[in-house]
């Protein structure tokens, strides 16, 4: 059997690493081995966001790099389909495995189905209900086309059934991101918080943290960082309210940094003694910060999941989430606060007196990758 796995951006890397390991373990034992090809579309081309993650997660170098780079959504999807179709015609695999919800996920699913190649979607069934999100479009189209849909939770199964997906195409496997977390938890725990700060602190920021509490902030979504009227109040809240209780560690996304500078906020941040601005971090470094954080303030989907497993209270600066299992009403650690400052303030004040509560949803046990591979090997066409 020949399988092509596709990654396009950093969130994919944490999901594909355990799947590749499952294939490697299978090939050491099975009489019929799997011919596996890893394709990197190159949607994330920054070295800190790509190469460093491959090395940290022990992902072998991609067999094929399409080097798509940046561009509008249409440009990325179109260029990826053109380049990936050539790979498929050359290799003609039995399966294309896509993960997550980035543009590469959508583009490679469409290209594969046009050539009648089976598609497996790892992390299927996630829905935010917000069709304005590009990722929601990617999820809907990919799931409609996929032959095998591997879900991280039972809420996702119900989403797919309500959309008319036949149960035979759905397999509940758990959250593959947690495989990566559990594999690397011990290594991450060995990192020193202050060494992470020292090695990644941006120029002009010189600060350490002792045994004090600290907050971690990550923001990258256009809805939070692209409009001055939204970003300025968020930054003022961080500077004027959060820093009165604890320092803030902020690994800043390139898009966010540019807007902070353009909106005249960078100097104000750099002058504040409790703001610690960092380069984008590697997987282990970010995981280590999350382990000890008093609170996470983020618009990242993956960090919502990590906070649930680690018990870190999480304020999610979004109005909806495709991962409702991470919300407090479902037993998780996250609260949706959008970018409304009063709502952010209310939930932030609650977290100051809350304790960490670790939650492990069903099948988030570090063994999902093997279940993914078993589902592919045992798949029976309708």
How many C-beta neighbours within 10 Å does residue 252 have? 21
Radius of gyration of the chain (CA): 21
* DSSP letter, residue 279: P
Catalytic residue among 116, 121, 220, 284: 220
Is the sign of the CA dihedral 6, 8, 12, 13 positive or negative?
A: positive
Rounded CA separation 326/303 (Å):
10
Among the residues of 50-96, which ranges form H helices? Answer: 51-56, 73-91
H or E stretch at 189: helix 176-189
Question: Which residues, other chains included, contact 255 with Cβ-Cβ below 8 Å and sequence gap of 6+?
Answer: 220, 222, 225, 226
Residue 220 appears among annotated catalytic residues: yes
Q: For residues 293 and 214, is the Cβ–Cβ distance under 8 A?
A: yes
Classified as helix, coil or strand, 163 is: coil
Contacts 24+ apart (CB under 8 A), 236-245: 237/341, 237/344, 237/345, 238/275, 238/297, 239/268, 239/269, 239/272, 239/275, 241/345, 241/348, 242/215, 242/297, 242/348, 243/272, 243/274, 243/275, 245/213, 245/352
**Catalytic residue IDs:** 220
């Amino acid at each position: 059997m020949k399988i092509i796995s596709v990654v396009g951006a950093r969130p994919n890397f944490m999901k594909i690493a355990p799947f590749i390991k499952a294939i490697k373990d299978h090939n050491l034992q099975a009489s019929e081995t799997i011919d596996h090809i890893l394709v990197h579309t190159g949607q994330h081309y920054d070295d800190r966001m790509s190469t460093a993650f491959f090395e940290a997660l022990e992902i072998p170098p991609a067999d094929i790099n399409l080097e798509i780079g940046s561009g509008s959504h249409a440009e990325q999807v179109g260029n990826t389909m053109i380049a990936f179709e050539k790979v498929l015609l050359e290799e003609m695999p039995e399966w294309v495995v896509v993960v997550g919800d980035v543009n590469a996920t959508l583009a490679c699913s469409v290209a594969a189905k046009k050539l009648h190649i089976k598609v497996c979607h790892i992390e299927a069934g996630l829905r935010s209900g917000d069709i304005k999100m590009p990722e929601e479009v990617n999820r809907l189209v990919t799931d409609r086309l996929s032959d095998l849909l591997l879900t991280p939770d039972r809420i996702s199964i119900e989403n797919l059934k309500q959309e008319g997906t036949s149960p035979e195409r759905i397999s509940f496997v758990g959250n593959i991101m947690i495989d990566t977390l559990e594999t690397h938890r011990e290594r991450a725990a060995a990192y020193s918080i202050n060494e992470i700060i020292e090695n990644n602190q941006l120029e002009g920021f010189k600060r350490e943290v002792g045994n004090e509490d600290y907050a971690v902030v990550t923001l990258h979504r256009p809805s939070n960082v692209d409009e001055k009227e939204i970003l300025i109040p968020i930054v003022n809240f961080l500077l004027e309210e959060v820093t009165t209780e604890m320092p803030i560690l902020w690994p800043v996304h390139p898009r966010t940094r540019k807007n902070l500078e353009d909106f005249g906020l960078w100097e104000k941040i750099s002058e504040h003694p409790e703001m610690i601005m960092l380069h984008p971090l590697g997987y282990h470094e970010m995981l280590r910060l999350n382990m000890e954080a008093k609170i996470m303030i983020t618009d990242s989907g993956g960090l919502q999941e990590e906070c649930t497993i680690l018990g870190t209270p999480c304020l999610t600066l979004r109005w909806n989430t495709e991962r409702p299992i991470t919300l407090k009403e479902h037993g998780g650690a996250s609260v949706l606060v959008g970018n409304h400052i009063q709502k952010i303030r209310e939930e932030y004040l609650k977290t100051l007196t809350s304790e960490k509560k670790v939650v492990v949803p069903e099948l988030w046990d570090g063994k999902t990758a093997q279940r993914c591979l078993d589902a592919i090997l045992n798949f029976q066409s309708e």
